[in-house]
Amino acid sequence: MKAFLPPIIFETMWIAKTKSHLKKQLNDCSQPVILVPTMGALHLGHAGLIDMARQRAGKSGTVIVSIFVNAIQFDNAGDFEKYPRPFDADITVCQLHGVDGVFAPGHNEMYFPDRSITVTEELLSKGLCGDTRPGHFDGVCTVVLKLFNLTRCDAAVFGEKDFQQLAIIRRLVRDLDLDVEIILHPTIREIDGLAMSSRNVRLLSGHRKDAPRIRKALLAAGEMTSAQQILDTARQEIEKSPYLKIDYLTLVDAETLSPAANLNTPTILACAVYYDDVRLIDHIGIRR
Choice among 43, 46, 185, 207 that is catalytic = 46
Give strand pairing partners of 283. 270
| 33-38 and 155-159 strand pairing | parallel
Q: What strands, in cross-sheet order, belong to the sheet with 33-38?
A: 14-16, 101-103, 62-67, 33-38, 155-159, 181-185
Give the distance from CA 232 to its chain's centroid.
Answer: 28
The CA distance from 100 to 176, in Å, is: 28
The CA distance from 170 to 270, in Å, is: 19
Task: Give the sign of the dihedral formed by CA 161, CA 80, CA 74, CA 246.
Answer: positive
**Phi then psi dihedrals of residue 126, to 5 deg:** -80, -30
Nearest CA among 203, 207, 237 for reference residue 219 = 237
Task: Give the sign of the dihedral formed by CA 272, CA 201, CA 104, CA 187.
Answer: negative
The CA distance from 81 to 97, in Å, is: 28
CA angle, 169 as apex, 259 and 264 as ends, to 5°? 30
Given a contact cutoff of 8 angstroms between Cβ atoms, the answer to whether 17 and 91 are in contact is: no
Active-site annotation holds for 107: no
What stretch of H or E contains 144?
helix 136-151
What residues are annotated to the active site? 46
